[in-house]
Structure 1
Amino acid sequence: MSETHDKLELLLVTGLLGAGKTTALRQLEDLGWEMIDNFPLRFLKRQVQDLLAEGPGSSAVAIGFDARTREFVPRKFLEYLALLEARDDVSVTLLFVDCAGQELERRYNETRRPHPLAQGRPVHEALAAERELLARLRERADFVIDTTKFTPHDLQQSIREHFSPKSERRMALSVMSFGFARGIPPVADLVFDMRFLDNPHWDEKLRPLTGEDEAVARHIENDPAFADAYGQIEDLILTLLPRYEAQGRGYLTIAFGCTGGRHRSVFTARKLTERLRATGRSPTLIHRTLKSRGAELVEGTQPQP
């Protein structure tokens, strides 16, 4: 979203069903965009005219549509998009939210929801037909966000990074803990592997606890390798942050990983968050897999470093 209001800012949001369009639109609304979802495209021209009639200062508007939208014809939409782009009083952006077919199938199977376009066909056939229908829009999109490996939080963060008002873009910090058993978070900018530390999982008294518990914290801090390694990590981060800020970076995610994402990474992420807050910053602390049973099972198969 730009800081001037001499143009109508129009963000058109589309993508594959189940990829995260609704999550994206809700985040845009939280950022101050006027949000309209499942908007009949036959009314789009009239809506734009009404917004332009309001004159300078009109709110930025995000309009969502997809393959279910009534009278949706990609060719006609792209023709009108070209007309909008030729105007001097409209700034138009097309965002496409995408996702790999296998992941979309998993989401539909997990929620037991039928694909809206299936009409008795298998999900993969409906997805293939939908992807073909939207192919030209994806090619034309100004931004494509692939949510295949994203959590809802990851998508929200990506939307904030691309579409927050520039006046609010003081660098936002996130500190995250995660378990390598479920993969590295796709939004992580700096990743530190804490698996070199002694694992509290193999202490029966500490196993049911987490890195937020004092007994686990003492166990980790008593590891001879912890103080020096953590001190160097902290110094590195405090050295880098002013440089990222000077470059105008909007968001930075610092991630700490361990095997299951319950002990070592949780404690270290919390410790760094407290240190950053002491410097006057306001990081968001996220424990990505803290409550994951699946990570516990992986960690429990055999002793790991």
Structure 2
Amino acid sequence: MTQVSQIVLVTGPSGAGRSTTIHVLEDLGFEAIDNLPMGLLVRLMDGPTLNRPLALGIDVRNRDFSTDGFLDLLKNLGAIDGLQVTTLYLDCSAEVLLRRFSETRRRHPMAQGASPEAGVARELDLLQPIRDIADILIDTSMMNVHQLRAEVERWFAPSEGRQLAVSIESFSYKRGLPRSLDIVFDCRFLANPHWDPELRAADGRDPDVAAFVASDERYGPFFDKVKDMLISLLPAFRSEGKAHLSVGFGCTGGQHRSVALAEAVAKALADAGQQVSIRHREMERRRMDVRPD
């Protein structure tokens, strides 16, 4: 049997970014194969020795695809000694998937003459058991191809001498929790700049808004404890082999308090020598909603 030390199974709904991810993994040194029938994987494993990790793109367009077949494949691969198997699931909201198919005018592979909405719903339902057991879930709903590349690289780029990558994200509870967060902090107990007419239109990156949030007597102890906890935990996560940690800060609208906390914590971690990226989900949504005339 071929000596492959690592296999990454890349799957998810059509339009979520599987092909882009396969290309990124290929650039990172993986042997990449897209849309390989699952029944041929055993033959591939019995073939010539591969001296690099393997990335396989599997989705509903594979001619022998089924949920049970995928789960059986995972079980069989997991029984191979010395083989690290990772399921990477690229998630995306139904609304965004529909918009992507509309923009590209592609036909959804599961529409079968029905509406694209029906195809998307059918596929998401079919893939739910795989999503539930995925080792890594990347929600691409708010990502462009460059952001997706960066996220995949954070997970799979060679880690020798590299620090744990920390992603800090702000969000609105009204729109739900981002799906890929490891740790979440609720900021809704802090004084809300929304009720100050002079601050309402600004966001937590504005110095006046940040100062307003920090003036709450509960802010200081909360910020210090969160910062100290994260700094103390990061080496432990790194020693366990974790390559990326995603931390979220949420508030009601995702504009003021969560943004201010995310910015402050990201700066504190960066000042402590950590590798940090920051994302404000609701700010990105607003930019996407602004269309030129």
Length-normalised TM-score, structure 1: 0.66
- Tell me if structure 2 keeps the 8 A contact 1:24–1:156: no
Q: 1:207 to 1:49 in 2, by over 3 A?
A: same
Q: 2:200 aligns with which of 196, 204, 207?
A: 207
Aligned residues: 275
Q: Which structure 1 residue ranges, 5 or more long, are not aligned?
A: 295-305
In 1, Cα distance between the equivalents of 2:179 and 2:79?
A: 37
Give, in angstroms, the shift of residue 188 of structure 1: 2.0
**Structural RMSD (CA):** 4.6
Q: 1:37 aligns with which of 34, 41, 55?
A: 34
Give, as a single letter, the amino acid of the residue that structure 2 aligns with 1:208. A
In 2, Cα distance between the equivalents of 1:142 and 1:189?
A: 16
Give, in angstroms, the shift of residue 30 of structure 1: 5.2
Q: Does 2:233 match 1:240?
A: yes
- Tell me if structure 1 keeps the 8 A contact 2:263–2:278: yes
Q: Does 2:171 match 1:178?
A: yes
In 1, Cα distance between the equivalents of 2:243 and 2:194?
A: 36
In 2, Cα distance between the equivalents of 1:106 and 1:278?
A: 36
Task: Report matched runs for 1:219-238 at 5 Å.
Answer: 219-238=212-231
Give, in angstroms, the shift of residue 222 of structure 1: 2.4
In 1, Cα distance between the equivalents of 2:242 and 2:77?
A: 28
Q: 1:289 to 1:42 in 2, by over 3 A?
A: same
Q: Does 2:104 match 1:107?
A: no
Q: Does 2:263 match 1:263?
A: no
Q: Does 2:181 match 1:188?
A: yes
- Tell me if structure 2 keeps the 8 A contact 1:211–1:263: yes
Q: Which structure 2 residue ranges, 5 or more long, are not aligned?
A: 288-293
In 2, Cα distance between the equivalents of 1:99 and 1:242?
A: 29
Give, in angstroms, the shift of residue 214 of structure 1: 1.5
In 1, Cα distance between the equivalents of 2:202 and 2:194?
A: 9
Give, as a single letter, the amino acid of the residue that structure 2 aligns with 1:107. L
Which digits, 9 at most, give the CA deviation of each residue in 1:67-125, with x for residues without a partner? 435xx2359x98xx79x96998995847474769xx54762266425313434223466
User: Which has more radius of gyration?
Assistant: 1
In 1, Cα distance between the equivalents of 2:201 and 2:91?
A: 36
- Tell me if structure 1 keeps the 8 A contact 2:168–2:248: yes
Give, in angstroms, the shift of residue 187 of structure 1: 2.1
Structure 2 residue aligned with 1:298: none
Secondary structure, in 3 states, of the residue corresponding to 2:25?
helix
Which digits, 9 at most, give the CA deviation of each residue in 1:263-282, with x for residues without a partner? 21111111111111221111
Secondary structure, in 3 states, of the residue corresponding to 2:245?
strand
Structure 1 residue aligned with 2:4: 7
Q: 1:124 to 1:276 in 2, by over 3 A?
A: closer
Structure 2 residue aligned with 1:17: 14
Which digits, 9 at most, give the CA deviation of each residue in 1:139-185, with x for residues without a partner? 7x984666789655699758954x55564674221121111121122
Secondary structure, in 3 states, of the residue corresponding to 1:292?
helix
Secondary structure, in 3 states, of the residue corresponding to 1:210?
coil
- Tell me if structure 2 keeps the 8 A contact 1:211–1:267: yes
